[in-house]
Amino acid sequence: LGESLASIRKFDTPVAQATTSSLEALKAFCLGKRQRARGAEGDSVSFLKRAIELDPNFAMGYAVLGNNYVNLGEYTLAAENIKKAYDLRDRVSEWEKFYISSHYQMAVTGDLQSAKQICRLWSQTYPRDPTPVTNLGYIAGLLGQVEPGVASARQALDLASNNALNYSNLAAGYVAAGRLDEAQVILDQARSRQLDSPLLHG
């Protein structure tokens, strides 16, 4: 799938340790992630809650649920779930540690500089992965760094053009930069792909 053999050898972790030993929890998690990619954050929550009910030690279940809550503006629930994931991070793969640690720094401690450092290392380790690039754009926006935020959002969209979040992030970056016509083009592209999200409407 594009990951180098050296990276696989270095970071390979059995599924039971990396994610969950429960196939049903993994199925619920995957359905939640699919809904999230479509922009249906609210629908995603019920699947992710089901995943952590089935496996209360499912670190990534808590992490992604917490991140959904961030996008829904439920910051207390976001922090609770991401902290739970962080407490369980010894059970996860290297990729998941990057995900959990970066979101912990963003949503729980508020240490954006540490989150930025983690995301940079994550992006260097997994250069074809849009997630750390998306996070770098989000962090840049929080820090008021409009043009770096737009550049990261554009890169994330190039890496994953099927994810509603990447369209909303780039459109928001263009709005912040006063580039309204470009923002409209991105929103039209998301609509043409039948992607929808409260973030896109915002």
The pLDDT assigned to 74 comes to 94
Spatial contact of 140 and 170, defined as CB atoms under 8 Å apart: no
d(CA 142, CA 145): 8
Distance CA 123, CA 85 (A): 21
Q: How confident is the model at residue 8 (pLDDT cuts 50, 70, 90)?
A: low
In tens, the pLDDT along 46-99 reads 999 999 999 999 999 999 999 999 988 899 999 999 999 999 998 899 999 999
Could you give the angle at the alpha carbon of 105 between the alpha carbons of 142 and 138, nearest 5°? Answer: 30
Look up the pTM and report it. Answer: 0.79
**pLDDT tens across 124-156, in order?**
999 888 999 999 998 998 899 999 999 999 998
Q: Give, in order, the Cα–Cα distances in Å from 76 to each of 24, 81, 100, 109, 125.
A: 27, 9, 17, 12, 31
- Say how far apart CA 49 and CA 24 lie, in whole Å: 12
